[in-house]
């Protein structure tokens, strides 16, 4: 009997260690997968957010999850998985929403740490039906236990990962710590996209400046190519649809350069100028398609 007891204890120990190793390997694999997606999506956060949420739900045995970003007191869903068709339709059609007072999200923002609820039905916002989003989570999403995990950047909450279970079964501290790791990876991805865009924008500006300087050097006696290069570069850098470059000549405003739209629109633009110098404030310019554009004159 003694030998059998020792064998049972040994078997349990081996099984437990094997489970721990399997769990650790799954977590490392998930982390590596997320980092791979981050490196392959330098300008697009959506694949990163989707991968983070999918791995958080899978490893923490959650049936539903939402990844959100914050803008002041507004919250916007950027990734959502699981839930009924009715809940998916509700979640995907939401715009930025006001963060409800007194709820777990407000508490997470204030305390800057994960906040868990064993049963969403016990929250006053659900019982009193004063928080529509909470009611939808419970009745459309079938959520009971949940945890909000903040995405922290320099001590400020920029977003959160929220995962849910359909039964009253709180998440373990180990699972919450894992989701916190994923939240840190989401912040890294956000920073990477920002830095990539800033670098790209700076390079575009330097290229445009070099192009204008080149045109200036090649046109020492003719300003028209310079004006054309300036307005074309401005429209491209600012992602505009069209642009104009008026200039003051004597007591009137003349059209120095503009980007073309169509033949009729170009004619309408040319016919608008010259203007008296006193013509300040907004000016409506007609286009061939019947639309109008409001310009601000000097």
- What is the residue extent of each domain of the chain? 2-190, 219-297
Nearest to 186 by CA among 77, 4, 13, 47: 47
| Pair 252, 275: CB distance under 8 Å | yes
What is the pLDDT, as a whole number, of residue 10? Answer: 58
What is the pLDDT, as a whole number, of residue 284? Answer: 43
What is the pLDDT, as a whole number, of residue 62? Answer: 96
What is the pLDDT, as a whole number, of residue 55? Answer: 94
Token output for 5: 């007891």
Residue with tokens 């989003």: 133
What is the pLDDT, as a whole number, of residue 11? Answer: 59
DSSP 214-255: HHHHH-SS--HHHHHHHHHHHHHHTT-S--EEEEEETTEEEE
- Residues with Cβ within 8 Å of 13's Cβ and at least 6 positions away in sequence, in order, are none
Token output for 271: 């016919």
Q: Is the pTM of this model over 0.75?
A: no
- Number of alpha carbons in the 13 Å side-chain half-sphere of residue 19: 6
Token output for 240: 């505009």
**C-alpha angle with apex 63: 85 to 16, nearest 5 degrees?**
165
Token output for 263: 């033949």
Burial of 57 (0-12, 13-18, 19+ CB in 10 A): buried
| Phi, psi torsion values for 167, nearest 5 degrees | -130, 165
Q: Which fold has domain 2-190?
A: Beta-Lactamase (3.30.450)
Burial of 195 (0-12, 13-18, 19+ CB in 10 A): exposed
What is the pLDDT, as a whole number, of residue 3? Answer: 64
CA atoms of 79 and 206, how far apart (whole Å)? 35
pLDDT tens for the chain, 298 residues long, are 566 666 666 555 555 465 455 666 677 777 778 888 888 877 889 999 999 999 999 999 999 999 999 988 889 999 999 988 888 888 877 778 888 888 899 999 999 999 999 999 999 999 999 888 899 999 999 999 999 999 999 999 999 999 999 999 999 999 999 999 999 999 999 988 888 777 767 777 888 888 888 888 888 888 888 888 888 888 888 888 888 888 888 888 888 888 888 888 888 888 888 888 776 555 444 444 444 444 444 4
If one counts every other C-beta atom within 10 angstroms of the C-beta of residue 76, the result is 13
Tabulate helix, strand, coil % of the chain (nearest 5). 50, 25, 25
What is the pLDDT, as a whole number, of residue 267? Answer: 85
| Pair 189, 38: CB distance under 8 Å | yes
């Amino acid at each position: 009997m003694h030998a059998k007891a020792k064998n049972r204890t040994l078997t349990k120990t081996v099984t437990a260690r094997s489970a721990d190793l399997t769990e650790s390997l799954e977590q490392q694999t998930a982390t590596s997968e997320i980092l791979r997606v981050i490196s392959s999506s330098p300008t697009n956060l959506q694949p990163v957010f989707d991968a983070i949420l999918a791995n958080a739900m899978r490893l923490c045995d959650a049936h539903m999850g939402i990844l959100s970003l914050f803008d002041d007191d507004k919250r916007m869903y950027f990734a959502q998985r699981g839930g009924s068709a009715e809940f998916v339709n509700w979640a995907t059609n939401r715009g930025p929403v006001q963060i409800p007072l007194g709820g777990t999200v407000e508490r997470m923002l204030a305390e800057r740490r994960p906040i868990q609820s064993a049963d969403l039905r016990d929250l006053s916002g659900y019982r009193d039906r004063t928080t529509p989003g909470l009611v939808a989570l419970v009745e459309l999403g079938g959520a009971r236990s949940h945890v909000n995990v903040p995405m922290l950047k320099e001590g400020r909450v920029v977003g959160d990962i929220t995962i849910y279970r359909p039964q009253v079964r709180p998440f373990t501290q180990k699972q919450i710590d894992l989701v916190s790791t994923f939240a840190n990876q989401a912040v890294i991805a956000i920073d990477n996209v920002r830095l990539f865009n800033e670098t790209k924008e700076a390079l575009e500006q330097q290229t445009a400046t070099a192009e204008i300087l080149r045109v200036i050097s090649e046109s020492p006696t003719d300003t028209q190519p310079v004006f054309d290069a300036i307005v074309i570069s401005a429209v491209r850098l600012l992602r505009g649809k069209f642009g104009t470059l008026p200039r003051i000549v004597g007591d009137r405003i003349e059209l120095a350069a503009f980007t073309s739209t169509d033949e009729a629109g170009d004619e309408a633009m040319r016919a608008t100028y010259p203007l008296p110098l006193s013509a300040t404030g907004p000016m409506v310019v007609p286009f061939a398609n019947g639309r109008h554009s409001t310009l601000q004159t000097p």
